Amino acid sequence: MLAIRMQRNGRSHYPTYRIVVQEAQRHPLSGRVVAEVGNYNPATKALTLDKEAVEKYLKNGAQPSSRVAFVLKKNGVKLPKWYKEPAAKNVAAKHADKLRKNQPKEEAPAEEAPAEAPAEETPAEAPAEEAPAEETPAE
């Protein structure tokens, strides 16, 4: 059975991908590729795709990976009826009650003073005069 998948190229921290048709049992990096049908650069979102070749392999039963199917669908390639999209992952948190968003909201303390009455101002106290520091005689 054939698979259409992405094969990573590029350098460290800057991947580029080749979209290849390969035997499904082989590892993507094995090098044994039936056909290269496109390229994808995630940094620039640039995609080159041979749509006719992709449609030919899909008609002959090549199974696209989930990421390749997403890219193909986004670029107008019609997927066959037998292709089933992967189910969405429903992962629940183990301790949902400990999450910050599930904690009860703390209410701000309400002020009881009426808003119309201005607060009384007290005159500032004069700072205490400092006594000059006594000098110690040098011995």
pTM, rounded to two decimals: 0.60
Kindly state whether residue 120 falls inside one of the protein's structural domains.
no
- What's the confidence (pLDDT) of residue 83? 84
Kindly state whether residue 110 falls inside one of the protein's structural domains.
no
Domain that holds residue 15: 2-74
Q: Report the number of secondary-structure helices (H) and strands (E) in the chain.
A: 2, 5
Kindly state whether residue 88 falls inside one of the protein's structural domains.
no
CATH number of the domain encompassing residue 63: 3.30.1320.10
Kindly state whether residue 90 falls inside one of the protein's structural domains.
no
Instruction: Give me the residue label for tokens 């002959």.
Output: 60
Kindly state whether residue 117 falls inside one of the protein's structural domains.
no
Quick check: 41 and 16 in contact, CB under 8 A? yes
Domain count, the chain: 1
Closest CA to 4 of 15, 18, 20, 27: 20
Kindly state whether residue 85 falls inside one of the protein's structural domains.
no
Kindly state whether residue 19 falls inside one of the protein's structural domains.
yes
**3-60 pLDDT per residue, tens:** 999 999 999 999 999 999 998 887 777 768 889 999 999 999 899 999 999 999 999 9
